Amino acid sequence: MASSSESITSSEFIRHHLTNLTFGQHPDGSWSMAHDAAEAAQMGIMAVHVDSLFWSFVLGAGFLWLFRSVAIRVTSGEPGMLQNFCEWIVEFVDENVRGSFSGRNDMVAPMALTLFCWIFLMNLMDLVPVEVIPRLLALFGVHFQKVVPTTDPNITFGLALSVFVLMIYFSIRVKGPAGFAAELTMHPFEARSPALKVLFIPINFFLEFVSLISKPISHSLRLFGNMYAGEMIFILISLMFGTGVVLTLFGGVLQFVWAVFHILVITLQAFIFMVLTIVYMDMAHQHH
């Protein structure tokens, strides 16, 4: 679409690339794909972002297929480059789990590995040129396509809420309902007097509840905000193409520099999400 920027404004170009392929119910009761951002907004909370879900599933399946194929062909002799790479990732994640998780739970390391690789692959889609996949799919009548799932807050909130639910589950399982309730009501303010203890319960609960709820919110918004900003910069750079030789060349150089820097960003964001998950699971397994 950058080449056709003469027929659309810059704001329309940006809005187009930030609109999800949305399926939902129209005001007249019919169900179909939204034709523009206004229709997508009218569909409300029951709308489904088809593109975000599609690319999430495809990348998740690709991760599982790759690691399974390596596991089937694993050898103790002289491993190939792919096996070495997969083993390095597993060891890297395992070291972080051993360093941050003090409990005993065989699920934490595989979950951390899955989150790191899956989020990294979703972030990696940000390095695909903005126009390539949407233009190809437009030939088949698909007019909207966001290929970076982590620029969709629904995806990042879904991942963070899944971790949050597991954290609550293991907190209750390890500490018991009474222990979990005491953790929310008996800290940070304590007192020996029974009257003061009762007085501090609502204050402690408010402070701990805010702290508890802020975990999935910050967990998800950190990933979404960084990836959304990176995608926006790529879109703004793409506006330079087709507007003149000088701006096109400058845009190409700028896009290359930002893509190289963004490799660090996408890796760091996947790592941060994984580390926070390990820390939250460790908090769930700690006794106070």
Q: Which residues are catalytic?
A: 218, 222, 226
Measure the CA–CA gap between 139 and 130, rounded to whole angstroms. Answer: 16
Please answer whether residues 51 and 146 qualify as being in contact, where contact means their C-beta atoms are separated by less than 8 angstroms: yes
Measure the CA–CA gap between 258 and 237, rounded to whole angstroms. Answer: 9
Burial (CB count <10 Å: 0-12, 13-18, 19+), residue 251? buried
Amino acid (1-letter code) at residue 152: D
Q: Which of 250, 226, 228, 225 is nearest to 237 (CA)?
A: 250
187 DSSP assignment: S
* Cα-Cα-Cα-Cα dihedral sign, residues 86, 88, 93, 97: positive
SS3 45: helix
